[in-house]
Structure 1
Amino acid sequence: MNTSASRSVHIVLIGMMGVGKSTVGRRVARELSRPFVDSDDEVIARTGRAVTEIFATDGEPAFRAIEEEVMADLLASPTPSVIAAAGGSVLSASTRARLRESGTVVWMRAPVDVLVGRTSRGTHRPALADNPRATLTQMETDRESLYGEVADITVDCTAPIAAVVGTIVRCVNEVDAQ
């Protein structure tokens, strides 16, 4: 649980790939009149390469190192933002420590079946190439406690997008009022 006194410098959306962090994050940012930043987009902007290319050419450890740097920079920004963190960003102990100090962390959750359906539409998810269901199930098992470790708020993302956005905005406002 995040115990930072400056709760909502940033609102950081965490959770599995396909849960809707980018889609929901853009709308939350609009509702709260904050900039929106997607960490995957920042990785692409910084490297000039797609995430799939980094995974294929340099491997996952190289991608995770870049991702950790990007998250450090985003979380250090003085501009209060809504940040969609890559699904694996919580794998880094230093990123988890920064998350605890950088604002309100929202864990967006959905069942694996929902995630499989959502991620099957794209080709930009290198980790899901072989067996998406098994991979997502294992990722969830590996990451669940890490998400829980840093989350201030947990939101069920099986509801319609507008409802999820409303829940996040309401919960963030409640946290800020404390």
Structure 2
Amino acid sequence: MNHEAGRRSKIVLVGFMGTGKSTVSRLLAEQLGYARFDTDEEIERSQGKRVAELFAEIGEAGFRDLESGMIQELLSRKEPAIIATGGGAVLRESNREAMLGGSLVVALKASAEQIIARVQSDSSRPLLQGDVAANVNRIMEQRKHAYDFAHLVLDTTSLNVHAVCATILQTRETK
């Protein structure tokens, strides 16, 4: 394996909830023949509990500790992989640095209206309990620059999953 291919053997998807990270990660993994990991799914599997339960039991800070550990573990694996992260994974500097250290980091964005439409009926999102629209707008404002560190920032509002994947693969060839 040449240096460039090894350096980009992982693609990490970051972005606010509802921007398409899980959907895009599935198609990218299929197209590239890579393993696919979703940090939230991996945490649930390792802890035997849903993310919402973990938030309730150990709080957001405790969950972020689990998330950081999982990100480190997934990035350290040798196999090529697509890694979809939770929306708040970028809040820790150590996570951002780890992601940038050898992976292509892609931030997916979408309009608040599109995100609300995508997540409003999903009761498994602990940060959205109550007024979904107000919570989405508040958290988006808090995190408006949190994803700017990525190699590629891609607005998925009006793109289908195939267009998003094509853009990521094209960028991967040139970065």
TM over 0.5: yes
Counterpart residue type for residue 156 of structure 2: C
1:21/1:84 contact within 8 Å kept: yes
Name the counterpart of 2:153: 154
Q: CA shift at 1:49, angstroms?
A: 0.5
Q: TM-score, normalised by structure 2?
A: 0.92
Name the counterpart of 1:57: 57
**Alignment deviations for residues 5-51 of structure 1 (CA, whole Å, 9 cap, x no partner):** 76413100000001110111110111111111000001001100000
1:90/1:143 contact within 8 Å kept: no
1:123-134 residue pairs with structure 2 within 5 A? 123-134=123-134
Q: CA shift at 1:166, angstroms?
A: 1.4
Name the counterpart of 2:167: 167
Please give the alpha-carbon distance, in whole angstroms, between the structure 2 residues aligned to 1:166 and 1:97.
26
Q: TM-score, normalised by structure 1?
A: 0.90
Name the counterpart of 2:19: 19
Please give the alpha-carbon distance, in whole angstroms, between the structure 2 residues aligned to 1:52 and 1:145.
25
Aligned-residue Cα RMSD (Å) equals 1.4
Long gaps (5+) in structure 2: none
Q: CA shift at 1:123, angstroms?
A: 1.5
Please give the alpha-carbon distance, in whole angstroms, between the structure 1 residues aligned to 2:76 and 2:121.
33
Long gaps (5+) in structure 1: none
**Alignment deviations for residues 45-66 of structure 1 (CA, whole Å, 9 cap, x no partner):** 1100000101112211111111
Please give the alpha-carbon distance, in whole angstroms, between the structure 2 residues aligned to 1:120 and 1:140.
15
